[in-house]
Amino acid sequence: MGEFDLIARYFTRPSRHAVLGVGDDCALLHIQAGMQLAVSSDMLVQGRHFLPTTPAAGLGHKALAVNLSDLAACGAKPVAFTLALALPSVDEAWLSGFSQGLWELADAHGCELIGGDTTQGPLNICITVMGEVPPGDALLRQHAQVGDDIYVSGTVGDARLALEVFRGTVSVDMAHFEAARLRLERPTPRIALGMALRGVANAAIDISDGLLGDLGHIVQRSKVGAVIDTAWVQDSAAISEAMQSISFNKRLEFALAGGDDYELLFTAPPDQAEAVLDAAEACGVSVTCMGRITPVAGVQVLDLQGVPLSRRFASFDHFAT
Ligand code: ADP
Ligand code: MG
């Protein structure tokens, strides 16, 4: 099967909203009048972002999910995406699984594949997503205010837990492993929550590299600091049953610095607390308040007694030595 047959077979469907989809030199999109376009790219590289054993359908899902998660963090509504793919060979079983995982998530969010590029090479998947957001409504990293509460959606740490089970450094029972593995391989982009937090949250980011590291981006861009409690790591909606089954110290590490969570980390003023809970309930996702924004630069983690922890939590950095 050649390049063009492959594209036609696995990555071409009739356009829905796009004026012109796959097949020409450019795709054409009609932008809704008065809307801003939110654009983001994320690349998945074998060996770096996923294990060679990852099922193809899960990869199709994850490649798009991590991109949609960036739209969610900005409060944008998904519109379209492009797919740049390097494949070692034409493996139809793989392509069929991959495209199935991709289409399922794309359809769930009404996000249309409008073009891309396909080449031979080590497996590499790069997606660019486009979404729309009313001018001034995008949630940004730079608008956290002193006094804001800090929240996280869903649960954190599970993806790292699954990874460590794969690596053999932690063991949990089968049911907990399967639940954690689902979070690693099938993250849920919090699109509805991001949109519901427009005008409610001051700042937001999605957690890809680890909660503390990503919070670090918010405080740096907003020129503020943060204090994080740890009581919620003991017991809260943000800690899954699988995470409950490991030691507190490991749980703390995975929750605060695990990475690959694709949950929203956001700040909102205390007088918006009810609006935050309403938004979460309307979207069917939990939110957990776990700290506040302070004027003192940096992120401080408090132990269960409220004493600052001296332990450091390294978040993920591709070029860290
Ligand atoms: P060009 O040579 O003009 O860059 P290509 O020959 O690379 O175009 O691609 C042909 C068409 O197929 C283009 O419309 C391109 O956007 C689309 N395309 C290529 N690869 C993919 C892919 N993996 N997924 C979706 N569309 C793709
Ligand atoms: Mg091309």
Q: Looking at the CA of residue 26, tell me the nearest atom of ligand 1.
A: 14
Q: Is the pLDDT of residue 317 over 70?
A: no
Q: Tell me which of 133, 165, 194 is where a domain ends.
A: 133
Residue 316 domain flag: no
Mean pLDDT of 3-8: 92
Assess whether 116 and 151 both reside in one domain.
Answer: no
Q: Is the pLDDT of residue 108 over 80?
A: yes
Percentage of the chain with pLDDT > 90? 90
Mean pLDDT of 294-300: 95
The pair of structure tokens assigned to 76 is 């944008």
Q: What is the pLDDT of residue 126?
A: 98
Q: Is the pLDDT of residue 288 over 60?
A: yes
CATH number where 129 lies:
3.30.1330.10
Ligand 2 midpoint to CA 105 (Å): 24
Q: Is the pLDDT of residue 316 over 80?
A: no
The string of pLDDT tens digits covering residues 23-40 is 999 999 998 999 999 999
Q: Is the pLDDT of residue 321 over 60?
A: no
CA-proximal residue: ligand 1, atom 3 (nearest): 25
Domain count, the chain: 2
Among 141, 182, 139, residue whose Cα is nearest residue 161: 182
The string of pLDDT tens digits covering residues 7-19 is 999 999 988 889 9
Q: Is the pLDDT of residue 51 over 90?
A: no
Among 214, 46, 243, residue whose Cα is nearest residue 154: 243
The string of pLDDT tens digits covering residues 139-164 is 999 999 999 999 999 999 999 999 99
CA-proximal residue: ligand 1, atom 21 (nearest): 116
Work out the pLDDT band at 311, boundaries 50, 70, 90: confident
Among 251, 265, 122, residue whose Cα is nearest residue 194: 265
Assess whether 146 and 106 both reside in one domain.
Answer: no
Assess whether 226 and 249 both reside in one domain.
Answer: yes
CA-proximal residue: ligand 1, atom 22 (nearest): 116
Residue 205 domain flag: yes
Q: What is the C-alpha to C-alpha distance for residues 220 and 173, in angstroms, rounded to an integer? A: 39
Q: What is the C-alpha to C-alpha distance for residues 255 and 253, in angstroms, rounded to an integer? A: 6
Hey, which of 4, 5, 22 would you mutate to test ligand 1's pocket, going by the most ligand atoms within 8 Å of its Cβ?
A: 22
CA-proximal residue: ligand 1, atom 13 (nearest): 23
The binding-site residues of ligand 1, defined as CB within 6 angstroms of any ligand atom, are: 7, 11, 22-25, 83, 85, 113, 115-118
Work out the pLDDT band at 318, boundaries 50, 70, 90: low
User: Which alpha helices (DSSP H) does the chain contain, by range?
Assistant: 3-10, 56-74, 92-108, 158-167, 174-185, 191-196, 211-222, 231-234, 241-244, 248-257, 273-283
CA-proximal residue: ligand 1, atom 1 (nearest): 25
CATH number where 206 lies:
3.90.650.10
Ligand 2 midpoint to CA 32 (Å): 27
The string of pLDDT tens digits covering residues 172-227 is 999 999 999 999 999 999 999 999 999 999 999 999 999 999 999 999 999 999 99
Assess whether 225 and 181 both reside in one domain.
Answer: yes
Hey, which of 118, 119, 124, 130 would you mutate to test ligand 1's pocket, going by the most ligand atoms within 8 Å of its Cβ?
A: 118
Q: What is the C-alpha to C-alpha distance for residues 316 and 2, in angstroms, rounded to an integer? A: 38
Residue 151 domain flag: yes
User: Containing domain of residue 12, as a range?
Assistant: 3-133
The string of pLDDT tens digits covering residues 234-259 is 999 999 999 999 999 999 999 999 99
Average pLDDT, the chain: 95
DSSP state string for 263-301? -EEEEE-GGGHHHHHHHHHHHT--EEEEEEEESSSEEEE
- The least confident of 107-111, 264-268, 269-273, 310-314 is 310-314
Q: Is the pLDDT of residue 277 over 80?
A: yes
Q: Tell me which of 85, 112, 133 is where a domain ends.
A: 133
